[in-house]
Amino acid sequence: MNPIRYVSTRGAQAPLAFKDAVMTGLARDGGLLIPTRIPDVSGKLEEWKDLDYPDLAFEIIRLFTDDLPGDRLRELIERAYSTFAHPDVAPVRKVGGIHILELFHGPTLAFKDIALQFLGRLFEEILEERQGRLNILAATSGDTGSAAICGVRGQERIHIFVMHPHGRVSPLQERQMTSVLDANVFNLAVKGSFDDCQLIMKTLFSDLPFKDAHALGTVNSVNWARVLSQIVYYFYAAFRVFEETGAAHLQFSVPTGNFGDILAGWYAKQMGLPVRRLILATNENDILARFFNTGVYAKGQVVPTVNPSMDIQVASNFERWLYYKAGQDPRKVARLMTQFAMEGRMEIPRDAKGLVDREIVAGASDTKHTLDTIKRYHEKFNYLLDPHTAAGVFVAEQYNELDDPMVCLATAHPAKFPDAIEDATGQDIARHPMLDALKNAKTRCEVIDNSAEAVKTYLAARAR
């Protein structure tokens, strides 16, 4: 069988091997890189069901790369997941009538660690092999920044520049990023929203002479390696739940703002994992929930909420899913994305595949429902949900009419959002020693104008 290559959703990027796709990040035509085929692993599920997390990650990731020797890939994976506090990496817990997939046991207490601990080591491997350098430009709505910084801090061949929306991430999320004082780490607080940060990033990547001159790379979920790494925990969770329940299918509820986390679940389903459906949960910034209920993808104003990592109105990974729903026609995708960029709106007919077969259903949880869910699960089950996970649990409950087990992704440790937990429970109980230690830590950050030119000037002066 021909090896998998990576092509752009917009069709104007020459096919790339895996390592080149990782280093390219955003495709040169402004699209996102996707694999030329999706492997069918339905015949391997029985063989894989008892594997531990690193071994399962190896089996899945190696299907998508033929230019990274197996022994090197296995070593990178083992090093990445040795940093996790729980021996299972991503344990599954039964809480009431649902299963919680805990993705917050990594070094920064967020699900982003699962991809970024691996990606940081992958960057290091490729740069060492090629004697190269890399300037990472990232945009974060909260957790990506600290996880990315943790993945590459101190690396000789990398500088990382992380933009976050000034005043719009939680104080602890900000401190996790800005207290890292390594010389290769630069934090920028942009006077705008996360969507503004993401637009600046895409603008600089679209400036090909600048991108090439400064060897720009990305750790955001526009980088295929991020999505690939996240596919693994859907299989891992499914195997544990199937063993416990004897079920043949299951459902996943995913709190998401940028569509990357639920897209990984969609790829797992296409690969043959018996997922009945995926349940997409948003907060008041509900562009994705509105789309899956109406077929209209229309941008609104970003509203600050208690779950800031979902305060997004332009979900970059949506373009990958759109590619498949547009019949894998890159010209159609480019046309739709250009329309959205100009008008802030696009519409896919209600009879498009995916809106009729309901493989993704969606709902939103506002602040009241999110806080009520945190309070209810704490009182009833003595289990603390962070506000993003609580949104996913609330929406899951609205769709829990099937007999299939429900797995809710827990995307962050509740201690990262102590104010929301206290608002919900009336108690200051969301603590973690790692975060407590940050309270008096020295920080470094630069507030910068909401302008691509301002960020370009800053980066050019400090790039590797």
Question: Among this protein's residues, is 456 annotated catalytic?
Answer: no
Six-digit token string for 143: 């957790």
H or E stretch covering 159:
strand 158-165
Q: Which of 44, 94, 112, 211 is catalytic?
A: 112
Distance CA 25, CA 427 (A): 43
Six-digit token string for 388: 């993003």
E strands, 210-293, are: 216-217, 250-255, 275-282
H or E stretch covering 360:
strand 360-364
CB contact at 8 A, 101 and 92: yes
CB contact at 8 A, 202 and 212: no
Distance CA 343, CA 80 (A): 42
Six-digit token string for 149: 């910084």
Orientation angle between helical segments 53-61 and 224-245, nearest 10 degrees: 130
Alpha helices, H only, 83-139: 112-130
**Greatest CA separation for the chain:** 59
Q: Is 302 helix (H, G, I), strand (E, B) or coil?
A: coil
Give the number of other Cβ atoms within 10 Å of residue 420's Cβ. 25
Q: Is 255 helix (H, G, I), strand (E, B) or coil?
A: strand
Distance CA 415, CA 430 (A): 4
Nearest to 452 by CA among 210, 200, 246: 200
Which residues are tagged catalytic? 112
